[in-house]
Amino acid sequence: MSFARVRALVVIGILVVAAAVFVVVALVKDRQSSPQSAEKCAEGAVVANAKLPTPEEVKLNIYNATNKPGLAGNVSQDFLARKFKEAKVQTAQPSPAVTKPTDVVAVIRFGPQAVGAAWLVRAYFLNQSRNEFDKARQDDRVDVIIGGQFQQLPTTTEVNQAIGALGNPTLPEGTCAAEG
């Protein structure tokens, strides 16, 4: 065996021993005793699902609050083409509070079970929608009320950029995160 080979084996041996020492030190000095869990809900807070779903998991109700006939059907077809689980066209307004939202692109209504889903849908309107959270709502559907400023749904690239700009879903006031 040549001197160069012996020297290479010694260097490799020293590196292996050093790596083993670093691993042992990291394991010994580890201060984590168990996985960290979220705090319990405050009194009166509602448990909300803030997990960001895939479009295949999201159910939508689409309402048309414009004077353009068939717009809700077109938007529904666009959402279905983008692999949303459901996008039902609804004919009646969900409440008289929004009769003609001409000053907005869309109004997104949701309850505690659809916080993450509403966050995703918000990206499909490039964060230009008005969001209305209903703490008492029990279903996992998101209502989309198309407003007078709506033009069209954005491209996939624009949606991905909007999701990146929005970041992770935030919990509405009066809610706490669901376990798991």
Per-residue pLDDT of the chain (180 residues; tens, 9 = 90+): 788 899 999 999 999 999 999 998 888 887 766 554 445 777 778 888 888 888 899 899 998 888 888 888 898 899 899 888 877 787 655 544 445 566 788 899 999 999 999 999 999 999 888 889 988 888 889 999 988 888 889 998 998 899 889 888 888 888 888 765
Q: Which two tokens stand for residue 103?
A: 């000053």
Residue 140's contacts (CB-CB under 8 Å, 6 or more residues apart) are: 49, 59, 111, 113, 114, 117
Looking at residue 66, what DSSP letter applies? Answer: S
Total domains, the chain: 1
18 lies in some domain: no
What is the per-residue pLDDT for 93?
56
As a whole number of angstroms, the distance between CA 127 and CA 27 comes to: 44
Q: Is residue 1 part of a domain?
A: no
- 119 found inside a domain: yes
Residue numbers of the domain that contains 128: 47-177
Residue at 152 is within a domain: yes
Q: Is residue 3 part of a domain?
A: no
The answer to whether position 106 is within a domain reads yes
SS3 of residue 63 by DSSP: strand
Which CATH number characterizes residue 134's domain? Answer: 3.30.70.2390
Residue 10 in domain: no
Residue 79 lies in a domain: yes
Q: What pLDDT score does 173 carry? A: 84
User: Could you give the CA distance from residue 21 to residue 18 in angstroms, rounded to a whole number?
Assistant: 5
pLDDT tens digits, 98-112: 455 667 888 999 999
Inter-CA distances, 27 with 13, 30, 36, 170, Å: 21, 5, 18, 34
